Each structure stands twice: as structure tokens, then as C-alpha cells.
Amino acid sequence: MTLNHLNLTVNNVTDAAHFFQTYLGFTAANDHQPNEAMAILTGPDGFLLVLMHNRFNDKGNSTYPDAFHIGFYLPDQAAVHHIWQQLHDGGIALTETPRRIRKTFGFYFQYDNILIEITTPGKD
């Protein structure tokens, strides 16, 4: 079995699609250009990320549980620092710098209503 896609709801689909494309290497899926309602993006590894506007939450629930997050694994600490610097230079709100997190090295930050983790294996 293969995980096919992840669907996240966001407050601004256009901005979120731009964020994932600019900083995390996603591209618009071949058959769908992002719009204000939905974006279908393909990650560097072929993974599909679907972004939908919060208005599609029929029951009004547009928040994730406190511990919910998505994580991106990078090859080394230099790559983690590089992404952090790109985000910082792009004006993305960052509340921490890369550091040791359990057995990894990385950082967390909020974008829209999503907690994002950027990590790599830590050096013991």
C-alpha cells in the first residue's frame, strides 16, 4: 500500500500553494493549476499534496489538534540551515532556529494553521 496524498485545509490556498512551491519544492500537478479554492501539488518525490480552502469544512472545524504536524526530512544539517535561512529571508515567521530535537536536528514553525517540522538525522 502506498500513501497517495495528504489533504490540508488552509485559510488562503493561493498563498499556501506559493509557500509550498517556493520553499518546499512542490510544483503544480500537471492537470491542475492552483486557484483560490484548491491546489494540487506534487512534491519532489512525487507525493501529492492537496490544499483546500477552509470553507470546505462543512462542520466548521478548521483547526488541527495541537500535536498534528507535517514533517520534511532533509539529507543533512546544512540543508536544514539552508531552508531555515530561505524561510527567514522570505519573511516567514520563525520562532526558533535549528537545534537538536530528540534524535534529529531541525526546527518547527507555523504556516497558515499548519505546524511544519524540518529535520535531518542528528549527530550523536
For the chain, the first-to-last Cα distance in angstroms comes to 33
pLDDT at 124 over 60: no
Confidence of residue 87 (pLDDT cuts 50, 70, 90): very high
pTM of the model: 0.88
Region of poorest pLDDT, from 10-24, 30-44, 50-64, 102-116: 50-64
Higher pLDDT, 123 or 78: 78
- pLDDT of res. 34: 76
- Would you call 55 helix, strand, or coil by DSSP? helix
CA separation for the pair 19, 51 (Å, rounded)? 11
- pLDDT of res. 4: 81
Q: pLDDT tens digits, residue range 54-77? A: 887 777 677 788 889 999 999 999
Residue 6 backbone dihedrals phi, psi, to 5 degrees: -130, 135
- pLDDT of res. 107: 97
